[in-house]
Amino acid sequence: MKKEKVKERIIRVASDLFYRQGFNSTGINQIIAEADIAIGSLYNHFTSKNDLLQAYLIKEELEWFKGFEDHTAQISEPKNKILSLIDYRKKLQKSSKFAGCHFIKIIAELGDSSPVVSDFAKKHKGKQKEMIRTLVGGYAENKKDLNADLITESIFLLIEGAVVTSTIDKNTDSFNAIQQIIEAQLP
């Protein structure tokens, strides 16, 4: 097994702490202690806690899209690929013990106090919506009477709502419900 590099360890530890206990509740000293590094090592790689937050968000975005790609690698039918997005989000919720979306959480915590972070989160959600638009476009290609934009918006909002609801309820019932709603929209 490859040894984890110091920078990777710092990002991994900070990511876990930011996600579990929040950005504002996580101190630099805690990151240093849990990553088992010297303070100089942290500042050799990151100029500030905000710099580390940016690395966390980039890591989460890359992992999110790679995870979806891996999750759907064997699926070619457009409708099934769309429905697999629901399964993917359900899987993420279960694996996080219903802790919610990294991007929703950071926006809820920081609001507009950090335009760089809020802009990153908005762009991330925009990329998710564009991915859905592409999937819906593949499905709607031969179906003239479907409004692809409306279906894209519906799927995006239903999934985001299911993530929030499952975080509150600590179960996947909302995903099961939206799967039926989305299947009805995709005849």
pTM above threshold 0.85: yes
Whether 58 shows a pLDDT value over 80: the answer reads yes
Q: Which distant-in-sequence residues (6+ apart) come within 8 Å of 94 by Cβ? A: 172
Over residues 95-148, the pLDDT tens digits come to 999 999 999 999 999 988 989 999 999 999 999 999 999 999 999 887 888 899
Question: Taking 80 as the threshold, does the pLDDT of residue 79 lie above it?
Answer: yes
Please report the domains of the chain, with CATH numbers, ordered by start residue: 57-185 (1.10.357.10)
- The residue-averaged pLDDT of 15-39 equals 95
Per-residue pLDDT at 2: 64
Q: 101 with 116: CB under 8 angstroms? A: no
